[in-house]
Structure 1
Amino acid sequence: MTIPVFYCISDDYTRFAAVSLHSLVKHADPAKDYTVTIISQNMSAEHRQDLSELGSKNVHVKFFEISDKLLAPIQNRKENYLRAEFFTMSIFYRLFIPDLFKEYDKAVYIDSDTIVNDDIAKLYATELGDKLFAACADSSIRYVPEMQAYISDSLGIDRSQYINSGMLVLNCKAFRDEGFIDKFMELLTTYHFDCIAPDQDYLNEICEGRILHLDATWDAMPNDHTPELANPSLIHYNLFFKPWHFKDIQYFDYFWENAKETKFYPELKAELDNYTDQQRARDREKLAEMLLKQDSVVKDPNNWAHVKKRIKVTL
């Protein structure tokens, strides 16, 4: 039996995925078998080779090219912008994993801006029961008042139950049996509600009440509201403040300890050294712009929370 793990990336994120994959391989149990599948579109042959070389005797790295046809209903529209900033199709890839890989009844998904500090097999061993997936609460936004209002007043979701989609233990069989993708496509094409984290917000909405909450150590995120966790099992550099752009963030050293052990270290170090204070200020402005976007969505009389209450949407 193999332990299936998925990344979904765009080609320009290969360097960061390489550091994450290196950390995953480093902590893999040599007595177990792992298959890491990287889902992308138009990844260069050079980058495929770079990532393949990070595999080991028991960690097999594979690639999957996702089709334009499958993604055709997902349009470049403002309601599909990530963090109200830009459109990137790759954030939606994870939603299709259960349907694309029917050989797996269960799988782990992690974002590429992560560091794995423990054996990912422990995460895979999570007993899901009748839950659709397991994840962690979104600590990067959970204690931000503006985002609390967004979760409850724009999405109509209990803010204490809102999860981050950067790490998922997927009940693939239940996703297929219960027609998750059909529900997602219906919501997307019929209502196309405005949101800040499209894939994440759809997961929270469609799977509400069917999510298993895991300990925060499996999705530790730098933030200004909670202390750094000791011995995090998985670190997720969510939102704007990345360790290759900022030095004064939580969990900074974990990234660079792993980056130094990859071929991309000189390139990543140069990016950190050459990132200007002006660029950092712009990143902080992006956070402010995201909060402004949430304010407009909260005040919209046709936001998703209002619409689903008015027309009694059932999923």
Structure 2
Amino acid sequence: MTIPIVFAFDKNYFLAAAVTISSLLDNSTEGEHYQIICLYSGLKKDELDWLMKLKDKYGKASFRLVDMKNTFTDAPVLLEHLNYTVYYRLMIPDLFPNYDKIVYSDVDIIFRRGMAGLWQESIGDNYVAGVLDRFVTEDTEFMKKRGFNGRLYINAGFLLYNNKKLIADNVPRNWLDEIGKPLNYYMDQDIINRVCEGHIKRLPLYYNCFSIDPKWKFLSKFPEAEIDEAFKRGNVHYTSKDKPWNNKKRFYRSNELIWWKYYWKLPFGSHKQVLRHFNIFVCRLLNTLVCVTEEKIKRRFSK
């Protein structure tokens, strides 16, 4: 089966996109073929050429690169760790009307499973399918102020689109009309949830899990079977502003090591972004060793 999946990023998330795509292809099963569509902005030819090495390495995907140029560069961005590329997902149905269904994924996700199961999911009469965003829904004051109180609210970082219905009902135009309105604090995510109200299907947690740390406080809000599967091979989504690749602090969570596992599987070359991230990894590793040593010394002398 051929599964079309869209990623959106600029030069700042280029390396992260490569790691995400690599994790998807590394975990795909026999019989899966991916039509990987990259909506990009500000990338140079050598960066695009380097990205295509993933095709050569795995051989079970075709790539389509779409330069979005200055699209949405003037759109409002309310969260500091995001940028205008988050709005690209709102154009997917109109850009690719030849697909009845299509998958969208953020590039701060690590895939630990192929998408065959998702592709066989029935989306019914819904516009989109996604995983419940417990981080947002537990903020009852936010949900009430933004008009989402009591509604199903999903995370927009991983979505299955019912393209055929979205286009038929002119939903993408309604999405675009919502850009910049003050109620949409989480920008594209609020827009999708607001416009698609009543036509959203909830996907299991393991397709888009914010943490596989047993101490994550929102885990208890999901069915036990979904939690078990998420721990085994759920996709991990790094939603906070502190990404595994952009800070030099110690490693605090096993989630972060999963990202670096797939970073090391990239087809390394002399690309400067790869070298920069390698330096970050070394710094984080050294900081972790120093912190662990300090903790051991403190425990020993506190007895």
TM surpasses 0.5: yes
Aligned length: 264
Look up the equivalent residue of 1:105 and give its one-letter code. Answer: D
Provide, for residues 266-294 of structure 1, a one-character-per-residue CA deviation record: whole Å limited to 9, x for no partner: 532322455799xxxxxxxxxxxxxxxxx
Could you tell me how far 1:194 is from its partner in structure 2?
Answer: 4.2
Question: Which 4+ runs in 1 deviate beyond 4 A?
Answer: 272-277
The answer (yes or no) to whether the contact 2:184–2:191 under 8 Å persists in 1 is no
Look up the equivalent residue of 2:61 and give its one-letter code. Answer: V
1:217 paired with 2:209, answer no
Pair 1:44–1:130, CA change in 2 (3 A):
same
Look up the equivalent residue of 1:212 and give its one-letter code. Answer: K
Structure-1 separation of matches of 2:54 and 2:30:
15
Q: What residue in structure 1 maps to residue 103 of structure 2?
A: 108
The answer (yes or no) to whether the contact 1:139–1:221 under 8 Å persists in 2 is no
- Which secondary structure state, in structure 1, belongs to the residue aligned with residue 125 of structure 2? coil
What is the 5 A alignment of 1:43-122? 43-55=43-55, 56-68=58-70, 71=71, 75-76=74-75, 80-83=76-79, 85=80, 88-122=83-117
Moved more, 124-133 or 177-186: 177-186
Q: Which runs of 5+ in 1 are unaligned?
A: 278-315
Q: Which of 115, 134, 142 is the equivalent residue of 1:150?
A: 142
Structure-2 separation of matches of 1:61 and 1:148:
41
Moved more, 223-232 or 16-25: 223-232
Could you tell me how far 1:34 is from its partner in structure 2?
Answer: 1.4
Pair 1:200–1:261, CA change in 2 (3 A):
same
Structure-1 separation of matches of 2:256 and 2:176:
38
Identical-residue share of aligned pairs (%)? 23
Structure-2 separation of matches of 1:270 and 1:194:
40
Moved more, 126-135 or 266-275: 266-275
The answer (yes or no) to whether the contact 2:7–2:37 under 8 Å persists in 1 is yes
Look up the equivalent residue of 2:176 and give its one-letter code. Answer: M
Provide, for residues 141-163 of structure 1, a one-character-per-residue CA deviation record: whole Å limited to 9, x for no partner: 443xxx3311222x211356111
The answer (yes or no) to whether the contact 1:243–1:249 under 8 Å persists in 2 is no
1:237 paired with 2:238, answer yes
Look up the equivalent residue of 1:268 and give its one-letter code. Answer: H
Provide, for residues 191-250 of structure 1, a one-character-per-residue CA deviation record: whole Å limited to 9, x for no partner: x22433100000010001111001111111038423584124311100223222352135
CA root-mean-square deviation: 2.5
Provide, for residues 287-306 of structure 1, a one-character-per-residue CA deviation record: whole Å limited to 9, x for no partner: xxxxxxxxxxxxxxxxxxxx
The answer (yes or no) to whether the contact 1:8–1:90 under 8 Å persists in 2 is yes
TM-score, normalising length from structure 2? 0.79
Structure-2 separation of matches of 1:139 and 1:265:
34
- Which secondary structure state, in structure 2, belongs to the residue aligned with residue 107 of structure 1? strand
Pair 1:273–1:196, CA change in 2 (3 A):
farther
1:268 paired with 2:274, answer no
- Which secondary structure state, in structure 2, belongs to the residue aligned with residue 161 of structure 1? coil
Q: What residue in structure 2 maps to residue 171 of structure 1?
A: 162
TM-score, normalising length from structure 1? 0.76
Q: Which runs of 5+ in 2 are unaligned?
A: 220-226, 288-303
The answer (yes or no) to whether the contact 1:162–1:204 under 8 Å persists in 2 is yes
Q: What residue in structure 2 maps to residue 36 of structure 1?
A: 36
